[in-house]
Structure formats: C-alpha cells, structure tokens
Amino acid sequence: MRIELRDPLTLPCGATLPNRLVKAAMSEALGTRDNRATPQLVRVYQRWTAGGIGLNITGNVMIDRRARAEPGNVVIEDDRDMPMLQQWAKAGQSKGSKIWVQINHPGKQCPKGMNKETVSPSAVPFHKSLQMMFATPRELTETEILDLIARWGRTAKICKDAGFDGVQIHGAHGYLISQFLSPHSNQRTDQWGGNPENRRRFVLAVYDEVRRQVGPDFPVGIKLNSADFQKGGFSEEESLAVIQELTARGIDLIEVSGGTYEAPAMTGATAQPKKESTLKREAYFMDFTEKVRAVCKVPLMLTGGFRTVGGMKEALNSGAVDLIGLARSIAIEPDLPNRLLDNKEALHPVKPLITGVKAVDRTGLLEIQWYTRQIHRMGKGKNPVPNEGAIKVLFFYMLESSWGLFKARKLRA
C-alpha cells in the first residue's frame, strides 16, 4: 500500500502521530533573560499547529541553567514555570497535532561568556578557526556525569507533567551527547570513554533514565548523527551500533542528522554524498537511513534537503523513512504543511544564504540566525519575510548577540 503524507503513524509505545510531517527542532531563542518560557513561544506554536503539522518538536530546551547554548534558551530544571509550559503544550496540540520537547545540554558548544565555564567529556579545544568564539572546556567528573543523566530524566518528567506529548533527546550536532559519542572530543580512559561501547554508555544511560522517569507509554525519541563529518570523529558504523542498542531498549523515534558546528553537515554547508541517486532523492542523509532500515525497524525521521512533494513521498515509500522533517521551510512558510498535504508545492522554496564572508558562510551559523529571525517575527504576531537580506540579518545578529551575551554575563555575575 502506498504511503501518503496524510497517513498516521503509530509509534512503538502506542502513541499515534496524525500525519507524516514533523516540524523539526530549530533555534527559537524566545526565552526570557533568565531562560523561562514566554507568550512568544505560545504564539509561534499556535501558528505552526494551525499550518497542519503532525508533530511539533521544540527547539533546544536546556536541562541545566549553568549550561546554556545561546541567549534566549529555555531551561527546564523544575516546575517553576508550569503554567506557561502548559500553555506552550496546548499551543502545539490544536487540530490533533502533537508536541514534543527537545531536551539538551550544549557541553562545550556555547559561545565564550555565555556561561561561567564549559564542560565536555574531555578538555579538547575547537578547531583554530572557531577558538575565538568557543572556549576550551573543562573535563567532566564522574559525579557531574551522573548528575547530568539525572537532570535529563527530571526535565523529561516535568515536560510530561506539563502536558507535552513526548520528548526528543538531542544527541546530534556536536552537543554534549554527541561529544561523548565522538572519539575526537571524548578522549577519556574511564568507563565513559575509550572504546565505542564506553563512549555510547552516556547516551544509553540518559535514555534509560528518561524512560524510567516518564514510563513506557510516553514517547521518547532521539536526534542522532549519522556521522560527525570530522577526521577522527563519530562514524556511521558507530551510529548504527548506537541505534541498534536504543531500538532494543524501546526508543520510539530516531531522527537522523549529521555534523557539528565545526562541520555543519545539517545545514548543507559541508559536502554531502554526490551520488546521482542521492541528489535526485533530495534528502541529505537518505543513504544512511537505508543502512539503518536494513538492520532494524525503528521509526525513522529525516530532515534536510527535501524540496518537493514528490521527493517526500518517494522517501516514505522507499521504506527507509517514516516521517519527513521540515525546518527552514516552515520558518518562512508556516502554512506549508497544509499545502503539502494537499499535494501543492512550497510558495517559497529554501535557498542558500550567502554573505560573501567566507568565515561566516562556512560555519552555517548565519543559516541558523536568519531563520531564527523569521521565527521571532512570528512570535510578535508578524509574518516571516522570505526574501530578507542576509547581510542585514548578519548585522542584527552581531548586534543582538553582543547584547544577549552582555545580559547573560550580567545575569550570572
């Protein structure tokens, strides 16, 4: 039977998603100065839900107030913001849509001055080109590692209590879980590092604690790199092994991605496979999902590169993908899911953003900030501006980032 975008999907835990379109996590940066949820987030998710999306996955929600990835992150450590969290959850659930919270810890991947210090499995600095922006981290202690595992579970439980429909553990893009998995950033010699089995111990412990806290019937997914695209980094073979372990434990959904800030494959800024068949199929990481499907039946979500209704349907009917992730496209066209469900193409196809400044264009950071700016417009009740100039956004990003870091330093002083 041919799969359509409108078809529902039942997850291993028994929960059902109403269609095959997912709003993938994006950087919203709409939290307060002290990292609390806001009415702007409620407004944005009301807009996306009205657009016909089946599942909303929120942007980075941090598990530790001492470790924020950027100004405006929401942090959930306790139930102090329960009323606003409940409003946020309800905003993502109208018309039958579901909403999951992406829960994360940045590890070393946060700008200098954002936090008092940065931590990571090992004290491995960034590439020279990024050392102006990111400090060398301090190595985590065993006690701190166990505390972080407990925090992931506690944050997930609070999200469940607030009425959200699930959580997604962020294990990709160079953040803390990704750092533990990578032999490049994890050079420990204890039980948390060294061989692949030890390096994946952290992510498995995080999943186990989250599942213990939320129970067997609450959806838990993960965003995981297919690879780091860095010399000496996390490989596809290791990623497959992690996926098989998580599948055996009962994970409900795996979103496949790839890359880090140092090699941002998730934005299309680094080289992707050049096989003609891959290019025709649009999606960045389709080859890897086929390898996953060959060894396990866990529901798979793929985000990045989709351009047409036909490409999305072809991915679904290949058997290698169960859900289509939409990110940048619905930051500029929030009603796009309804169009896709009606077999209509996007009004504003995503295009590469180029400033001409190689150091900026290479990192992919402008991509993040340009689309974040469109999300902020929706948070104010305005419409996105699909053709807004990249140089203009770069200027405002530098201005707002400097102001945000100043406020963050003042807050933690």
Question: In which band, very low, low, confident or very high, does the pLDDT at 22 lie, cut at 50, 70 and 90?
Answer: very high
Question: In which band, very low, low, confident or very high, does the pLDDT at 128 lie, cut at 50, 70 and 90?
Answer: confident
pLDDT, position 33:
92
pLDDT, position 388:
82
Helices (H), 31-183: 39-50, 82-91, 142-162, 176-181
Cα–chain center distance at 188: 26
User: What is the C-alpha separation between 344 and 324, in angstroms, rounded?
Assistant: 16
Question: In which band, very low, low, confident or very high, does the pLDDT at 271 lie, cut at 50, 70 and 90?
Answer: very low
Q: Is residue 397, in this structure, part of any structural domain at all?
A: no
- Rounded mean pLDDT of 150-175? 97
Q: Which residue's structure tokens are 């498995």?
A: 204
SS3 9: strand
Q: Is residue 53, in this structure, part of any structural domain at all?
A: yes
User: What is the C-alpha separation between 348 and 345, in angstroms, rounded?
Assistant: 9
Question: In which band, very low, low, confident or very high, does the pLDDT at 282 lie, cut at 50, 70 and 90?
Answer: low
Q: Among 7-21, 128-142, 180-194, 380-394, which stretch is predicted with the lowest mean pLDDT?
A: 380-394
Residue 347, token pair as written in the block: 């009004």
User: What is the C-alpha separation between 294 and 298, in angstroms, rounded?
Assistant: 11
- Rounded mean pLDDT of 273-292? 69
Check residue 250 and give left, alpha or beta (phi > 0: left; psi -120 to 50: alpha): left
Contact 230, 184 (CB under 8 A): yes
Helix then strand count (H, E) for the chain reads 15, 14
Q: How far is CA 249 from CA 206, 243, 245, 314, in A?
A: 12, 10, 6, 30
Crossing angle (nearest 10°) for helices 365-379 and 39-50: 90
Q: Is residue 408, in this structure, part of any structural domain at all?
A: no
Q: Could you give the percent of the chain with pLDDT greater than 90? A: 73
- DSSP 8-class letter at 126: P
What number of other Cβ atoms are within 10 A of residue 83's Cβ?
A: 11
Q: How many Cα atoms are found within 13 Å in the side-chain-facing hemisphere of 105?
A: 30
Q: Is residue 87, in this structure, part of any structural domain at all?
A: yes
Residue 17, token pair as written in the block: 């998603």
What are the tens digits of pLDDT across the range 308-362? 999 999 999 999 999 999 999 999 999 999 999 999 999 999 887 766 666 556 6
Q: Is residue 231, in this structure, part of any structural domain at all?
A: yes
Residue with the larger pLDDT of the pair 329 and 226: 329
Q: Is residue 109, in this structure, part of any structural domain at all?
A: yes
Question: In which band, very low, low, confident or very high, does the pLDDT at 377 lie, cut at 50, 70 and 90?
Answer: very high
Q: Among 41-55, 166-180, 274-288, 298-312, which stretch is predicted with the lowest mean pLDDT?
A: 274-288
Q: Is residue 398, in this structure, part of any structural domain at all?
A: no
Contact 20, 5 (CB under 8 A): yes
Q: Could you list the residue range(s) of the whole structural domain that residue 207 is in?
A: 9-350
Q: In the chain, how many domains are there?
A: 1
CATH, residue 131: 3.20.20.70
Q: Is residue 20, in this structure, part of any structural domain at all?
A: yes
Minimal CA–CA distance to 72: which of 52, 87, 58, 56? Answer: 58
Crossing angle (nearest 10°) for helices 39-50 and 82-91: 20
pLDDT, position 284:
76
pLDDT, position 395:
63
Looking at every residue in the chain, the average pLDDT score rounds to: 89
The helix (run of H) or strand (run of E) holding residue 147 is helix 142-162
Residue with the larger pLDDT of the pair 350 and 167: 167
Task: Please state the pTM of the whole predicted model.
Answer: 0.90
Residue with the larger pLDDT of the pair 407 and 33: 33
Asked whether residue 278 carries a pLDDT value surpassing 50, the answer given is: no
